[in-house]
Structure 1
């Protein structure tokens, strides 16, 4: 996936989830670019914080071949991390590039009914 594809994803997400899109970051060998960040989210992060996020997703991308070898599930396409206030989706293109997307948690809530039920069982 190129930066052009990541920009198309950004447009799709802005149309689909509107103000619930928190941020989109594309990274490759040359560095990382913030393609979109909502104003209130931008206020929460310094440039150094953003560099750390890019560093983190890069490290995950480097592990892509290892993860694919470790698990007999086929190619690793993306990861999802669910936090109290946001859901992070990381689309790993290869071991050097990818797109990281953050959404407000409530957007993803309609899609995680099964996960919600599992969490309810764990919390009992």
Structure 2
């Protein structure tokens, strides 16, 4: 796998969070995207080169549309488990990657990881600390 990476641009959304994730996870970090749910807009703050080659712009739009729909379900999940407090993260584990979505008010932070479950703890810890 060609896992070339780029630095986090200075104008990236949530640059401190992005740098912290990049520092903590290194080359095992695949993607960071920050979305504003009510505006139905998102920005890709970081994407590893080999991952960028796998997804078209249309595919990225569809993924974000799913995140928007998931935010609707998030409200129901919180209602079902009131003793647990606010839903902070959702995680999808696939054969070849792990997707973490951190929820913060009207914002969703999508974090794509390599398929190593040990990355979840550090990724969640960074998101909790910085969101």
Q: Please give the alpha-carbon distance, in whole angstroms, between the structure 2 residues aligned to 1:57 and 1:77.
A: 14
Higher Rg of the two aligned structures: 1
Q: Please give the alpha-carbon distance, in whole angstroms, between the structure 1 residues aligned to 2:49 and 2:35.
A: 21
Q: How many residues align?
A: 107
Q: Please give the alpha-carbon distance, in whole angstroms, between the structure 2 residues aligned to 1:64 and 1:110.
A: 23
Q: Greater helix share, 1 or 2?
A: 1
Shift in Å, 1:69? 0.7
Match of 1:63 in 2: 73
Shift in Å, 1:7? 2.6
Taking the TM superposition and a 5 Å limit, the aligned residue runs for 1:1-124 are 4=13, 6-28=14-36, 29-30=38-39, 31-72=41-82, 73-94=84-105, 96-106=106-116, 108-109=117-118
Q: Which segments of 5 or more consecutive residues in structure 1 lack a partner in the other structure?
A: 113-124
TM-score normalised to structure 1 length: 0.77
